């Protein structure tokens, strides 16, 4: 059976497979920032993010977090369960950076007294605006129960990843998650990678994520490679 492209996003393409409830994710090297205003490519990013995301899904699965990942099938391809994505981006923040630092006038690097969970409306035309559970209910983006599930998983994922990364000398500053519905249940989708997280070296505080691209800090590919190495021991 021919595989058809269902969707092309900024960093990934999605293809049909012979099974209706499974799709193939293809990771591209394209990078965008500031809601698509800044465009570029990061050499071998697709390969690195596919490996990094596969690693994180396996780790979270072992810890009981349900997710869409089935298996990595090639350097750039990952087989996943076909979800109905909830149009809500869930951001978890341990340390102030990026849009939070700007919006609230906090110095980047300020440790928050409590972990912050934020929801954004997944809508490129509107630039993914910040929303809360009232907007989500009123716009019927997700049910109250689904919001609670996303929040609970987001905090559990934060605890698992923060702890794991600490052992690899990486600080988990913040990250974005997307969830979808599969067989009636909310499960984790999308990807977890240096494109969707901020990682700082625990000692030097060096940025090891997409901020190197956003802010033209150089050595973008090297940072992604170093993250893969610290997580898996694999030298790309």
Closer of 91 and 150 to ligand UDP (Cβ)? 91
Three-class SS state of 99: helix
Q: φ and ψ at 107, to 5 degrees?
A: -65, 135
Closer of 99 and 232 to ligand UDP (Cβ)? 99
What secondary structure does DSSP assign to 131-168, as a single string?
Answer: E-HHHHHHTTSS-HHHHHHHHHHHHHHHHHHHHHHHTT
Closer of 88 and 228 to ligand UDP (Cβ)? 88
CB of 1 to ligand UDP, least distance (A): 33
- The CA distance from 30 to 75, in Å, is 16
CB of 5 to ligand UDP, least distance (A): 22
CB of 31 to ligand UDP, least distance (A): 11
Q: Residue 225, Cβ neighbours under 10 Å: how many?
A: 22
Name the site residues for ligand UDP (rule: CB under 6 A).
91, 97-100, 128, 174-176, 196-198, 210
CB of 169 to ligand UDP, least distance (A): 18
Q: φ and ψ at 100, to 5 degrees?
A: -70, -45
- The CA distance from 102 to 54, in Å, is 32
Q: Can you read off the two tokens belonging to residue 2?
A: 């021919």
Closer of 3 and 110 to ligand UDP (Cβ)? 110
Cα 67 to Cα 4, 30, 60, 150, distances in angstroms: 23, 24, 8, 12
CB of 176 to ligand UDP, least distance (A): 3
Closer of 80 and 91 to ligand UDP (Cβ)? 91
**Residue whose Cβ sits closest to ligand UDP:** 98
């Amino acid at each position: 059976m021919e595989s058809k492209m269902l969707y092309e996003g900024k960093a990934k393409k999605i293809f049909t497979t012979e099974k209706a409830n499974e799709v193939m994710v293809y990771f591209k090297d394209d990078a965008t920032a500031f809601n698509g205003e800044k465009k570029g490519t990061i050499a071998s990013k697709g390969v690195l993010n596919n490996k990094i995301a596969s690693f994180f899904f396996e780790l979270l699965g072992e810890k009981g977090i349900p997710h869409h990942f089935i298996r990595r099938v090639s350097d750039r391809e990952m087989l996943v369960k076909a979800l109905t994505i909830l149009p809500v981006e869930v951001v978890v923040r341990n340390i102030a950076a990026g849009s939070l630092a700007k919006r609230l006038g906090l110095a980047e690097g300020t440790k928050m007294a409590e972990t912050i969970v934020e929801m954004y409306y997944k809508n490129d035309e509107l630039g993914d605006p910040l929303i809360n559970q009232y907007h989500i209910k009123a716009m019927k983006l997700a049910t109250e129960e689904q919001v609670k599930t996303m929040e609970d998983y987001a905090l559990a994922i934060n605890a698992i990843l923060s702890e794991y990364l600490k052992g690899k000398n990486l600080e988990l500053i913040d990250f974005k998650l997307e969830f979808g519905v599969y067989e009636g249940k909310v499960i984790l989708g999308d990807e977890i990678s240096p494109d969707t997280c901020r990682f700082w070296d625990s000692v030097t505080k060096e940025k090891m994520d997409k901020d190197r691209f956003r802010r033209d800090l150089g050595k973008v590919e090297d940072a992604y490679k170093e993250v893969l190495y610290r997580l898996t021991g694999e030298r790309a």
